[in-house]
C-alpha cells in the first residue's frame, strides 16, 4: 500500500475575521460601517499546503502532529519488532481531516471456530480537526472474511496495571505483552462459543449499537432474532457487518461497541 497518500503536507495558519466599525462621516453627515480584518487570537487554521485547502479551524492549544511523523515512527518501530507485518487496505483509510492505518501481524494468530483463525492487528488513528486524538490500540482480523475487531475489554486489565495506553516508542514491548495475553483472548472466544444469545443480550446489543444496526443485521441474515446463534456466531456477524457494510469513518466506533458488548 502506498503510504504517501497519508503523508500530505499540513501547516498552521492564522485566522482572521472581518469586523465592521461604525463611524460618522462628516462629508455625508451620516454613519457608515467600515470593514476591518481582525486576528482571531484563540483559533488557528489547519491547511493542506500542497493544494492550499482548508482542513479545519481549531483552538490555539491544539497540537498539530502530521500523519507522516506518526507513520515514520511506526514503520521504524515495526522493523524493530522482528515480526512480519502487512498493511491491511480494507480497514485503512485517509481523508484530509482523519486517517486510520491498520497493521496486521499474520503470524501471530488466535484460534476461533474457523481453520484460519484471526491475526493480531494494530490500529493507528490521527485527525486534524479534533474529532479524535492520536490513538493506537490492538485488535485482530479474521482471515476467512477480513472481519476487523478490537480487543479493548480483554486488554484493558493489562493497561490498567501498567499504563493507560502505549506510545509508538513502546511498540515492541506492547506487542510482546499483547502476545502473552493471547491465551486470555482465546479463553474469552471459547466462552462466547458456548453461550447462547438470549433476550437480555439482544437488549444490551440494541443499547450498544442501536436499533437500526440490529434491524439491518437481521435483514441481511434473514433472521427475526438471534436466539438460534451462539454469541461467537453473532460476534462474527456483527464484525462482518461493520467491516463490509459501514463507512470507514464509522467502523472504529462500532468496533469498540462490539468489544464492550462481547467483553472482548
CA 202 from centroid of its chain's CA atoms: 25
Q: Give 83's Cβ-side CA count (13 Å radius).
A: 24
Region 176-186: what's the mean pLDDT?
A: 89
C-alpha pair distances (Å), 7 with each of 94, 99, 126: 9, 10, 12
C-alpha pair distances (Å), 84 with each of 15, 106, 108, 120, 164: 45, 7, 9, 11, 27
The answer to whether 193 touches 110, Cβ cutoff 8 Å, is: no
Judge whether residue 161 has pLDDT over 90. no
Judge whether residue 31 has pLDDT over 80. no
Region 32-57: what's the mean pLDDT?
A: 88
Rounded Cα–Cα distance for residues 103 and 122 (Å) = 5
User: CA torsion 146→147→150→155, rounded to 10°?
Assistant: -70
pLDDT on residue 46: 97
Rounded to 5 degrees, φ, ψ at 109 are -110, 155
Residue whose C-alpha is closest to residue 111's, from 192, 191, 185, 195: 185
Rounded Cα–Cα distance for residues 195 and 197 (Å) = 7
Judge whether residue 163 has pLDDT over 80. no
Rounded Cα–Cα distance for residues 252 and 21 (Å) = 47
pLDDT in tens, 108-144: 998 888 778 899 999 999 999 999 888 888 999 998 8
SS3 content of the chain, % helix, strand, coil (to 5): 40, 30, 30
Region 211-226: what's the mean pLDDT?
A: 96
pLDDT class of 162 with cuts at 50, 70, 90:
very low
Which pTM was predicted?
Answer: 0.87
Which helix (DSSP H) or strand (DSSP E) does residue 55 occupy?
strand 53-59
pLDDT in tens, 224-250: 999 999 999 999 999 999 999 999 999
Rounded Cα–Cα distance for residues 96 and 89 (Å) = 17
Judge whether residue 167 has pLDDT over 90. no
Amino acid at each position: 500500500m502506498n503510504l504517501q497518500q497519508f503523508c500530505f503536507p499540513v501547516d498552521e495558519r492564522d485566522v482572521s475575521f472581518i469586523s465592521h466599525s461604525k463611524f460618522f462621516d462628516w462629508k455625508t453627515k451620516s454613519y457608515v460601517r467600515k470593514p476591518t480584518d481582525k486576528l482571531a487570537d484563540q483559533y488557528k487554521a489547519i491547511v493542506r499546503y500542497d493544494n492550499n485547502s482548508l482542513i479545519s479551524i481549531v483552538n490555539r492549544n491544539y497540537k498539530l502532529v502530521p500523519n507522516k511523523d506518526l507513520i515514520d515512527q511506526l514503520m521504524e518501530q515495526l522493523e524493530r519488532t522482528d515480526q512480519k507485518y502487512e498493511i491491511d487496505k480494507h480497514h485503512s483509510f485517509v481523508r484530509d481531516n482523519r486517517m486510520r492505518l491498520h497493521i496486521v501481524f499474520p503470524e501471530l494468530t488466535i484460534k476461533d471456530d474457523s481453520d484460519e483463525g484471526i491475526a493480531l492487528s494494530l490500529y493507528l488513528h490521527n485527525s486534524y480537526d479534533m474529532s479524535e486524538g492520536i490513538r493506537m490500540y490492538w485488535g485482530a482480523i479474521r482471515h476467512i472474511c477480513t472481519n476487523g475487531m478490537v480487543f479493548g475489554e480483554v486488554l484493558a486489565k493489562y493497561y490498567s496495571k501498567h499504563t493507560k495506553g502505549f506510545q509508538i516508542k513502546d511498540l515492541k514491548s506492547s506487542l510482546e505483552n499483547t502476545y502473552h495475553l493471547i491465551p486470555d483472548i482465546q479463553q474469552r472466544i471459547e466462552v462466547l462459543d458456548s453461550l447462547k444469545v438470549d433476550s437480555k443480550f439482544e437488549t444490551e446489543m440494541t443499547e450498544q449499537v442501536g436499533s437500526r444496526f440490529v434491524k439491518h443485521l437481521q435483514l441481511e441474515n434473514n433472521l427475526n432474532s438471534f436466539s438460534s446463534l451462539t454469541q461467537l456466531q453473532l460476534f462474527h456477524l456483527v464484525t462482518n457487518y461493520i467491516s463490509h457494510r459501514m463507512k470507514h469513518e464509522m467502523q472504529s466506533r462500532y468496533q469498540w461497541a462490539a468489544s464492550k458488548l462481547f467483553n472482548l
